[in-house]
Amino acid sequence: MHSTSVALFLSKIRSTLEILRKEWNGQSSESYRVIVEKLRANQHYLRHNGSSGLVDPLKIIEPFLQLLKSDKLLGPYKLVSLDAIQTFISHDVLLEEGGSSQTEFVLSEIIDALVNCKFSSESGGGTWDQYQQQQQQQHDQGYMQQG
């Protein structure tokens, strides 16, 4: 795996862990604990083995998919996961060279998680379209401030 891909994975894992820590307020559940453990394990694995090129994209993206599929975790966590997955897809870091059945399986898992992702009203609600609009507004505001 390219060092750029490893750095991107590590960046998204780090930002996801930071938000989970800030937002969770000391509460704990089995879903939360499992996802955090997987993110930390992936972080450790990538730091020590990422340059070897032997990185399983499904293993790396699995905790992000679990965030989307979880019924117990609220909308803000799902938004973080959606952002990470969108970044991974837009930078082609999940695709193996030449394509493979593994790549197809990873993409089908992402599609399944996206189709079954629900935002609860307790978390402020929201849909994928609303999330994309919010992201575009943030981007536009940053662009206008620069210009």
Which ranges in 50-127 belong to alpha helices (H)? 57-69, 75-90, 101-116
% of the chain beyond a pLDDT of 90: 13
Give first-to-last CA distance, the chain, whole Å: 36
Q: Please give the pLDDT value at position 130.
A: 56
The residue to which tokens 């879903």 are assigned: 31
Q: How far is CA 144 from the centre of its chain?
A: 27
| Residue type for position 92 | D
**In this predicted model, which residue has the larger pLDDT, 102 or 96?**
102
With tokens 């992402």, the residue in question is: 110
> Taking the model in full, what pTM does it have?
0.70
pLDDT band, residue 100 (cuts 50/70/90): low
Q: Quick one: what percent of the chain has pLDDT higher than 70?
A: 70
pLDDT band per the 50, 70, 90 thresholds, residue 14? very high
